Amino acid sequence: MKNLHVKLLSLGLILFAAGLIFHKTSHLGLPLLPSEDIDVWSVEARLAFTAKKGSIKAQLALPSLPSDYMIVDENYVSGKYGLAVTHENNNRVAEWAVRQGSGEQVLYYHLQLTQNNQNDTTPPKQVTEKVTLADPQQHSENMTSAISTLLEEVRQKSADTKTFTRELLLRFNAETADENIQLLLRDVRTKKERIELLKIILTDALIPARAINVLLLKEGVRHGKLTPWLQVHDGEKWISFDPTDVKSSLPKNAMLWQTDNQPIFTIDGGKNISLDFAISRHTQEPIRLAEQRARKMDSRTMEFSLFSLPIQTQNVYRILLMVPLGALLIVVLRNLIGIKTFGTFMPILIALAFRETELLWGVILFTFIVALGLTIRFYLEYLQLLLVPRLSAVLTIVIILMTFTTVFSHKLGFEQGLSIALFPMVILAMTIERMSLIWEEHGPSEALQQGIGSLLVAALGFLVMSNDILNHMIFVFPEILLIILAITLILGRYTGYRLTELWRFRATLSKDGH
Amino acid sequence: MPSLDALLPWRRMKALGILGMNKRNGHYIAGYNKRANYPLVDDKVQTKNLAEVAGVAVPKLYALVEIEKHISALSEQLKAYDDFVVKPAHGSGGEGILVIIGRSAHGYRKNNGQIISEQEFGFHISNILSGMYSLSGLPDAALIEYRVKFDPIFADVSYQGVPDIRTIVFQGIPVMAMIRLPTRLSDGKANLHQGAIGVGINLATGQTTSGVSYESFVDQHPDTGSTIIGLPIPNWDDILELTAQCYDLAGLGYIGIDIVLDHELGPLMLEMNARPGLSIQLANRCGLQKRLESIETMENIPISIKDRVALAKQFEAN
């Protein structure tokens, strides 16, 4: 009955915690494991123009479609302008408006980007996209014949959409273009116009094509521009082409800004318009980034995040949250293994002190203080003091020993000795007292056995509690504490043997096992 | 081909019915011992009072020291007695017990022959009062009581101290018993952890069966060399009845009852323990689990003490 109860309760706790962790990792993108710092791109779009008389309305296309980059944060500097961000067919547009303006006007859009993990959920999204072929346009007589001749040639030398487009681009970008191409390129000056032309030709060949604008992320760019690219659809996905080359994939640092035929920006009531991009790069701790992003996506879950605390408090909780893990270790070592220790949680407190001293020095200093304290405690025994005064005396002596150790190690240049002050002195005093009692009543071997056992558990506890991966996981996913609680509850109903009992009752086994 | 049970030690231990610490704590103590009744057995003063009311034989209480100030008056109070035992009321595992076997010009003579001064004697009691030997470390009281003169039948198999008989009683039925023999190693104390020898007792016949020292089997007393096997325990049936009776005192389902045999007064109940140890299984070379389970499956447990003792004797038949 009780077992079932505990199991159901634990199962509930585990499921709840696992669900929360799953939500945080898969939907909010919090990293399960700590990772190296990652690059964050800061992009600043600067839209500048000179105001004409009357009201001003400025529109800027914002990146929105899923791409290799993910928006971590974005904000706008609008001055006295009113700002509205609208969503239209998968496109986002920032719309600034003001009733009156004069002189030079500057609007800013700031954006923070990180590269998406390649295994993220980006690719399937495009499949659902509906691709329609643009209506063929009417061209002049000689243009129509030039296009059809060109298409005929290209079609013969290609197998599918991709090779077709490549073949077409090859001809367009050849050093010595043939006369058909020359004719077609007669009025084409800019890259944009070239793409428009290619779109027309590809539409005639019944291949859906579109122009996209990408931003090439490069450190230290001050006056960057968007680069137009051509995309054709092969029935499954969009394939990108550089219109002045035959390369068929976007460079790694290309960030897709806009895919529609809509203009990147429009200004009503302005002239001398310019759009510049400034780009810089810095590194950031991935968890902060993820947390920032998650907060943007789902502020309700993240409201209870420990990241919302002041840094100092965060650091306290980084340590505190590890204590249950240490307690679980104690449960395992005592109830499953059967190691004897002084006091139940004394080794955990010692292990916490080891965080500051490092393991080796921690063990040395602990052994040193306890051994010295024990010697003095035996002398106090001879004085026949009452219990509480004797405990106080041991405590005082422990603190004196700690002070001396610190001062001496400082003089000798061992800086590790300084952190001894973080040892829990009351625990040390109680340990000395308990150890001396056991020493007298059960003999030195029992006392040393328990002493070494405690030290071993403390060392193990330190290794577990100072583990970076566990530290990260528990701090980012505090719901792991529920899982620890569940395991503790289950272990609380464990009635099987302890490992050391196999040794204790070995005599019965050898009698039986012939 | 060896079976899985033969290969995995824990499967074999389970097959032997060895009761482990976790099962004892989680199932038997947590399940059958009501916490509210713990003080009845943890506090020897309460145990003694209960026993006296119920007519269970216990060593006579000479004096009870509860505050420091009473210590100075003790020598006057104890004038009439040459030998006695000092115990903490909340002690466990025989800790803090001082056995005085006589007086000398300079103070008291301990059971190991050492003389301690009046002052050292007072200091020991003072330590008891301050809670040095109590389970929780809380201030305690010291009992000074009749020193048991043990039955000479055990003279050959004890070193100094008094052997005592530990019986595990589950829901009123004695399930297993052993006699604990003090050794030089245990400093005359009948505590297995300190090196005393545990010798299993056949519940039906009252004869000792096999011994254990720490974790290994022994057949002889290490100090005297005498065999510890096949010794008949005098008044065995009385002892069994006494243990069954003690269950009714405390209302705890799973207890260990310690009884000493005084050669004049017969069996005397020394103390009860709500968390009896597991070494009794080694002394008897037999697991507790099966016997406990057979009682757990019983529909109702007989009320009469005689019937319960009869049930206990049946364990040996199986």
Complex ipTM, two decimals?
A: 0.80
Is the same domain home to A236 and A189? no
Task: Name, in order, each residue with C-beta under 8 angstroms of A313's C-beta and a sequence gap of 6 or more.
Answer: none
The CA distance from A396 to the nearest CA of chain B, in Å, is 19
Mutate one of B13, B192, B194, B292 to test the A interface: name it (highest A CB count within 10 A): B13
Res A129 pLDDT > 80? no
User: What residues form DSSP beta bridges with A114?
Assistant: A70
Is the same domain home to B170 and B302? yes
**The CA-based dihedral angle spanning residues A403, A406, A408, A411, taken in that order and rounded to the nearest 10 degrees:** -130
B229-246 burial: b if 16+ Cβ within 10 Å, else e: eebebeebebbbbbbbbb
| B25 to chain A: closest CA residue | A495
* In-domain check, residue A95: yes
| Three-class DSSP category at A48 | strand
Predicted pLDDT of residue A15 = 95
Which residues of B are less than 8 Å from A511 in CB distance? 217, 285
* In-domain check, residue A178: yes
Is the same domain home to B168 and B21? yes
Is the same domain home to B121 and B257? no
Is the same domain home to A140 and A117? no
Which phi and psi (to 5°) does residue A244 adopt?
Answer: -100, 10
* In-domain check, residue B124: yes
Is the same domain home to B226 and B190? yes
| A430 to chain B: closest CA residue | B137
* In-domain check, residue A241: yes
Asked if B193 has any chain A CB less than 8 Å from its own CB, the reply is yes
Is the same domain home to B117 and B251? no
Which residues of A are less than 8 Å from B18 in CB distance? 497, 501, 505, 508
Res A103 pLDDT > 50? yes
Is the same domain home to A49 and A125? yes
Average pLDDT, rounded, for chain A: 81
Res A125 pLDDT > 50? no
Q: Degrees (nearest 5) of the Cα angle B130, B135, B141? A: 40
Please write the tens of the pLDDT for every residue from B3-40. 666 678 888 888 889 999 999 998 999 899 998 988 88
Res A248 pLDDT > 90? no
The average pLDDT across A490-498 equals: 90
CATH number of B176's domain = 3.30.470.20
Q: Say whether A498 and B16 touch across the interface (CB within 8 A).
A: no
The answer to whether the Cα torsion of A405, A408, A410, A414 is positive or negative is negative
Q: What is the distance, to the nearest Å, from the Cα of residue A447 to the centroid of all Cα atoms in its chain?
A: 48
Is the same domain home to A222 and A275? yes
Which residues of B are less than 8 Å from A492 in CB distance? 26
* In-domain check, residue A475: no
Predicted pLDDT of residue A131 = 65
Of the residues B145, B169, B193, which one is the last residue of a structural domain?
B145
The C-alpha atoms of residue A216 and residue A224 are separated, in whole angstroms, by: 8
Predicted pLDDT of residue A67 = 64
Q: Say whether B12 and A441 touch across the interface (CB within 8 A).
A: no
Q: A–B: how many Cβ contacts below 8 A?
A: 83
| Three-class DSSP category at A383 | helix
* In-domain check, residue A437: yes
CATH number of A126's domain = 2.60.40.2250
Is the same domain home to A181 and A56? no
The parent domain of residue A66 ranges over 38-132+212-284
* In-domain check, residue B290: yes
Considering only CB atoms, B130 lies closest to which of A386, A492, A493, namely: A386
* In-domain check, residue B85: yes
Q: Say whether A497 and B13 touch across the interface (CB within 8 A).
A: yes
* In-domain check, residue B112: yes
Of the residues B123, B145, B167, which one is the last residue of a structural domain?
B145
Predicted pLDDT of residue A141 = 73
- Cite the DSSP H helix spans in A87-140: 124-127
Res A124 pLDDT > 50? no
Is the same domain home to B18 and B154? yes
Please write the tens of the pLDDT for every residue from B101-116. 898 888 899 877 889 9
Of the residues A207, A239, A270, which one is the last residue of a structural domain?
A207
Asked if B70 has any chain A CB less than 8 Å from its own CB, the reply is no
The C-alpha atoms of residue A447 and residue A453 are separated, in whole angstroms, by: 10
Average pLDDT, rounded, for chain B: 89
Please write the tens of the pLDDT for every residue from B247-283. 888 889 999 999 999 988 999 999 899 999 899 999 9
Predicted pLDDT of residue B28 = 93
* In-domain check, residue B50: no
The number of beta carbons lying within 10 Å of the beta carbon of residue B154 is: 23
Asked if B220 has any chain A CB less than 8 Å from its own CB, the reply is no
Is the same domain home to B158 and B297? yes
Task: Name, in order, each residue with C-beta under 8 angstroms of A415's C-beta and a sequence gap of 6 or more.
Answer: A409
Q: What is the distance, to the nearest Å, from the Cα of residue A186 to the centroid of all Cα atoms in its chain?
A: 52
Is the same domain home to A436 and A336? yes
Of the residues A207, A226, A259, which one is the last residue of a structural domain?
A207
Res A121 pLDDT > 60? no
Res A483 pLDDT > 90? yes
Is the same domain home to B165 and B260? yes
The CA distance from A417 to the nearest CA of chain B, in Å, is 33
The CA distance from A13 to the nearest CA of chain B, in Å, is 22
User: What residues form DSSP beta bridges with A443?
Assistant: none
Which residues of A are less than 8 Å from B123 in CB distance? 384
Is the same domain home to B135 and B199? no
The parent domain of residue B204 ranges over 4-42+150-317
Is the same domain home to A327 and A216? no
* In-domain check, residue B52: no
Considering only CB atoms, A512 lies closest to which of B16, B23, B216, namely: B16
| Three-class DSSP category at A213 | strand
Q: Say whether B10 and A441 touch across the interface (CB within 8 A).
A: no
Model confidence band, residue B291 (pLDDT cutoffs 50, 70, 90): very high
A:186-215 residues touching chain B, CB 8 A cutoff: none
- The mean-pLDDT minimum among A233-237, B151-155, B182-186, B305-309 falls in A233-237
- The mean-pLDDT minimum among A74-88, A243-257, A421-435, B123-137 falls in A243-257
Res B304 pLDDT > 80? yes
Is the same domain home to A124 and A266? yes
As a three-state string, the secondary structure of A228-285 is EEEEEECCCCEEEECCCCCCCCCCCCEEEEECCCCCCEEEECEEEEEEEEEEEEEEEC
- Structure-model confidence comparison of residues B39 and A423, the more confident one: B39
Is the same domain home to B160 and B215? yes
Is the same domain home to B182 and B277? yes
Q: Say whether B22 and A503 touch across the interface (CB within 8 A).
A: no
Of the residues B113, B145, B177, which one is the last residue of a structural domain?
B145
| Three-class DSSP category at A392 | helix
Q: What is the pTM of this model?
A: 0.69
Res B203 pLDDT > 90? yes
* In-domain check, residue B135: yes
Which residues of A are less than 8 Å from B130 in CB distance? 386-388
The CA distance from B212 to the nearest CA of chain A, in Å, is 9
CATH number of B96's domain = 3.30.1490
User: What residues form DSSP beta bridges with A107?
Assistant: A47
Res A172 pLDDT > 80? no
Q: What is the distance, to the nearest Å, from the Cα of residue A364 to the centroid of all Cα atoms in its chain?
A: 38
If one counts the domains in chain A, the total is 3
Model confidence band, residue B64 (pLDDT cutoffs 50, 70, 90): very high
User: What residues form DSSP beta bridges with B61?
Assistant: B145
Is the same domain home to A96 and A142? no
The CA distance from B182 to the nearest CA of chain A, in Å, is 14
If one counts the domains in chain B, the total is 2
Is the same domain home to A60 and A147? no
Q: Degrees (nearest 5) of the Cα angle A169, A174, A180? A: 80
Q: Say whether B20 and A501 touch across the interface (CB within 8 A).
A: yes
* In-domain check, residue A306: no
Res B133 pLDDT > 80? yes
Is the same domain home to B70 and B218? no
Model confidence band, residue A299 (pLDDT cutoffs 50, 70, 90): low
Model confidence band, residue A138 (pLDDT cutoffs 50, 70, 90): low
Is the same domain home to A342 and A413? yes
- The mean-pLDDT minimum among A130-134, A340-344, B44-48, B272-276 falls in A130-134
| B284 to chain A: closest CA residue | A508
* In-domain check, residue A30: no
The CA distance from B91 to the nearest CA of chain A, in Å, is 13
Model confidence band, residue A11 (pLDDT cutoffs 50, 70, 90): very high
Distances in Å between the Cα of A496 and the Cα atoms of A282, A354, A492, B4, B17 are 55, 33, 11, 17, 12
Is the same domain home to A354 and A434? yes
The C-alpha atoms of residue B176 and residue B316 are separated, in whole angstroms, by: 10
- The mean-pLDDT minimum among A400-409, B202-211, B256-265 falls in A400-409
Task: Name, in order, each residue with C-beta under 8 angstroms of A22's C-beta and a sequence gap of 6 or more.
Answer: none
